[in-house]
Amino acid sequence: VQVGDELPRFKLQNQNGKWINIRDFIGRPLVIYFYPKDDTPGCTREACGFRDAYGQFADHGAIVFGISADSVESHHRFSIKYQLPFDLLSDEGNKVRNAFGVSSDLFGIIPGRVTYVVDSHGFVKYIFNNQLNATKHVGEALRALGSFPK
């Protein structure tokens, strides 16, 4: 997936076991961030950053989704522990990660950390790929949303 591409269609379970069909959210800006693993230091900082800025995302009308290969149960524990106000989606087979083309980093050992900002028409407008600076994803996504026409 590149800037300008239409968002791949997918359906995944959230941390509560509810099926989320991404098509149901077209019409609002979306922030979809792929991260390596629940409850690890970088991923926790990233998730808590999205949590702490959640009001700012809401001000832009945006919906935030985090996606990793962790199970629904792992996502549930992680979401409760850090009081995350957005859905974490379980991509246990990495089908959605692969559909987006999110590769592994650090010699193929760690799943990539990439954030996609999607406009209300379902087109990717911004991509930020940075494995090591997890907290920068929040600011980059907000900056991209700020460039959307009102």
Which is catalytic among the residues 7, 22, 43, 88? 43
Per-residue pLDDT at 61 exceeds 70: yes
CA dist., res. 105 & res. 19, Å (int):
29
CA dist., res. 19 & res. 12, Å (int):
6
100: exposed, middle or buried (Cβ count in 10 Å: 0-12, 13-18, 19+): buried
Instruction: At 132, give phi and psi (nearest 5°).
Output: -90, -25
CA dist., res. 100 & res. 22, Å (int):
13
Instruction: Name the pTM for this structure.
Output: 0.94
Structure token digits, residue 123:
């087109």
Structure confidence at residue 149 (pLDDT): 67
Please indicate whether residue 43 is annotated as part of the active site.
yes
Structure token digits, residue 93:
């087979």
Mean predicted lDDT score pLDDT of the chain: 93
